[in-house]
Amino acid sequence: MDVKKIGSVFTSAEIELIVHATESLDKLIDALGSTLGVRSSILTREVLTGHHGNEIILLKGGVVGDDARNLADRLMGSLSSEDILRIYRDFDLYTDNRSSFYIRISKQEMVKGRIRLSQSDAVRIRLRLAKRMHKASLEALRSALVG
């Protein structure tokens, strides 16, 4: 299985990010579309209050079927070889026992049209595997990372 076409093992995806008052909501929504192929129509907004009383927006969305597979293909196909190696080495940190694969990418890099792993101030993406394929799919995913 080619890491650039890994999407076939996923059935759904959830996207979540926090938009701070200092960030442009429109730029981030546009970047989700242009970089990840996420349509703005699937996104919901929840206005929250931050730790210091500032307004923040929680942006969430979910896709299933072909949309989830296309998101996974776009995401994995755009990662650098260093990021792919990091996922391979720390694979257990990116997966759970509930058939999910988690990845966080940099909001700032996404706005520039690039996909890079990031642990802070990131776009959080949860890709779900078909439950009946959990163990085999995880093994196939990990193997695909090193081609």
Work out the number of other CB atoms within 10 angstroms of the CB of residue 120: 7
Q: Assign domain 3-132 to its CATH superfamily.
A: Ribosomal protein L5 (3.30.1440.10)
Q: Is 9 left (phi over 0), alpha (psi -120 to 50) or beta?
A: alpha
pTM: 0.89
Q: What is the pLDDT of residues 95-131, one digit of tens each?
A: 887 788 999 999 999 999 999 999 999 999 999 987 6
Q: What is the pLDDT of residues 33-85, one digit of tens each?
A: 999 999 999 999 999 998 889 999 999 999 999 999 999 999 988 999 999 99
Give 44's strand partners: 60
